[in-house]
Amino acid sequence: MSGLRGHRAVITGQGHAVPEPVPQEDIWREVFAPRLNHDRIAGHIFRSAGITTRHAGVDPRHTDVSGWSTGDRMRRYVTEARGLGGEAVTAALAQAGLSSSEIGFFVVVSCTGYATPGLDIMIADQLGMPLDVRRLLVGHMGCYAAIPGLQAAADFVRAQGLPAVLLCVELPSLHLQRSDDPADLQTVVSHALFADAAAALVIEPDAGAGLELLRTTAATVPGTEALMTWDVTAHGFRMGLSPKVPDVLAGQVAEATAELLTPFGHRAGDVAGWAVHPGGRRIVDVVQERLHLPAELAAPSREVLDRYGNCSSPTVLLVLESIRRGRRLESGDPVVLMAFGPGLTLCSALLRTVC
């Protein structure tokens, strides 16, 4: 728990932006099936991923980036990420009823691109944030990075009494790898799962309505560094994703959840909304099984996976947005964010509904 005392940090606005949708079946049939010689196992991976539609800033049906250099991909990253990120932040500010000129701190999270000056400077400038806005760029933490980003934003709000914005923006479509080997299952799985999105939160001091951040936790499993990797190559970033990941995380979920909830006198059954990062269908299965969640509480994670795929860091925020849109939360209701990434690391956040 943060040692800072002072203002309460309350999420008051959310927004997201995605590129054009691409049907999962079309991606398989038009792009990967010909490359992989219509391999039966690869086809099963695509069709059993729990995804109907994904979004891609660079549609692989029309543009093959697999031969692009990392430099070419980074230049395209800046163009796409600025647009999506600006749109997501604008939507979140509108929901909160704030202007960009009121923002004191801007946190940008991304692991799929690199530029200096960074997106924090570029988007702050294009949206008209103050010249003295404080900025933080959180890079290369992977799918769980929204939670440490949220913690940093909340700590600023508590200490300074000024609003903050968190933006997560990822473009995995730019890292398509040139692979025609169906036996390279880690690459096949990454191509079947990942998609592009941006999601933003506005956090305000002492707001009378929203979701107050109470606590975040993190747990890293020793000896698991090789199970999830993201390596920079001459042709983009290459994902390593072991099939052991869900089983390793399964052994951590219950203990990590107890650590998050117990200081506030809660158990898993008290939680009104579970924003579980759908890293894959099996990940959601594991969390639902280990925490004994009813199907309706796991449904938002499955719905986001179906509609958006795994978008890395923005995904858990998309699930949170789905929960808030689809369910009436009462004052005091606890809500949990949970996400997983390299390390292997499990990060969680406890929110409390303020009405």
The strand ranges marked E within 154-245 are 164-170, 197-205, 210-220, 228-233, 236-241
- DSSP character for 194? B
- For each successive 10 residues of the chain (355 residues), what is the average pLDDT? 71 98 97 94 96 97 96 97 98 98 98 96 98 96 97 98 98 90 87 97 98 97 94 94 91 95 97 97 96 97 98 98 92 97 96 97
pLDDT the model gives residue 183: 76
pTM, whole model, 2 decimals? 0.95
pLDDT the model gives residue 1: 40
Question: Residue 237: which residues within 8 A CB-CB, separation 6 or more?
Answer: 70, 112, 175, 230, 231
pLDDT the model gives residue 179: 76
Could you tell me the domains of the chain?
Answer: 9-205 (3.40.47.10), 210-354 (3.40.47.10)
pLDDT the model gives residue 6: 87
